[in-house]
Structure 1
């Protein structure tokens, strides 16, 4: 009578299952790392685009009278491309309002003239020449666009040496 052989080979199956599980975890971690890095890059580009759009508003605000002389003025700021890597387009418009009355220096009543300026700045990291926003670049995974709008109210008659509205 022959003796039954002891069972063997279970360790090989367990080792293969263990290696498959470890490989699956490694692939999942690699994909998670790639996704996380893409998210961080998008957040960084978004912050830089927001600052470039804000710089466009500040550029207009420095010399509001001459840079927003005509309503609907559109300016592409080419210098920003070299400095920040973003194209910036600034649009400025204004409206004139007459509001109430005040006494002038001679004691006569005069209308308060107010200029309401609306400054809109759009920054994007498009490729090549053209305007911001760039609809053709939207499908790119690294395309970022930010828009900032500011409103400024100034009086035309500079009451009490304060050009801003009360």
Structure 2
């Protein structure tokens, strides 16, 4: 009878070891799943911030279509920070061309066209100017840039019309 009791005691010890190993494996899997979930949430957050920054940059381009026809330079749109959470910097550059000018310099048939290049950069940095070099190292910094080019005809009197007429 003693022999039977010894075998039962050995089997009970093995069950404890198996239970501990099983708990360690399950805990490791749970920790891995938690880490994967955290990474996935961070990825989704970055994608959402990127989409918002892209839309803020697009709004900067639309602002530029209205405001950049006669001025050049960079403008920081502070009101966008309040509305969107993103700083937007819009850079406007333009060049005038004489279309139809003859080699002799006669301009009686020429038409002045203005090519306007608008670049809008949106970022969620701490300064009003984008890009923000000081905030690039932060984990949630997002920056998007959009560029658009528009052709305008300079009419007599300084008014503008589209080149596509």
TM-score range, shorter chain: 0.7 to 0.9
Match of 2:141 among 140, 143, 146: 143
Alignment match of 2:152 (pick from 147, 151, 154): 154
Q: Does 1:111 align with 2:103?
A: no
Out of 18, 21, 24, the residue aligned to residue 25 of structure 2 is 21
Rounded Cα–Cα distance in structure 1 between residues aligned with 2:89 and 2:83: 15
- C-alpha distance 63-139 of structure 1, shift in aligned 2 (>3 A): closer
| In 1, Cα distance between equivalents of 2:68 and 2:74 | 13
The alpha carbon displacement at 1:130 in A equals 4.1
CA-based RMSD of the aligned residues comes to: 2.2
Give TM-score, length-normalised by structure 1: 0.83
1:79 aligns with 2:79: yes
Q: Which residue of 2 aligns with 1:131?
A: 129
* 1:49 aligned residue: 53
- Rate the CA distance shift 1:70–1:100 in 2: closer, same or farther, 3 A: same
The whole-number CA distance in structure 2 between the counterparts of 1:156 and 1:36 is 52
List structure 1 segments (4+ residues) > 6 angstroms apart after TM superposition: none
SS at match of 1:32: helix
- Distance in 2 of aligned mates of 1:55 and 1:96: 25
Structure 2 residue runs without a partner (length 5+):
102-107
C-alpha separation in 2, matches of 1:90 and 1:157: 25
Aligned residues: 152
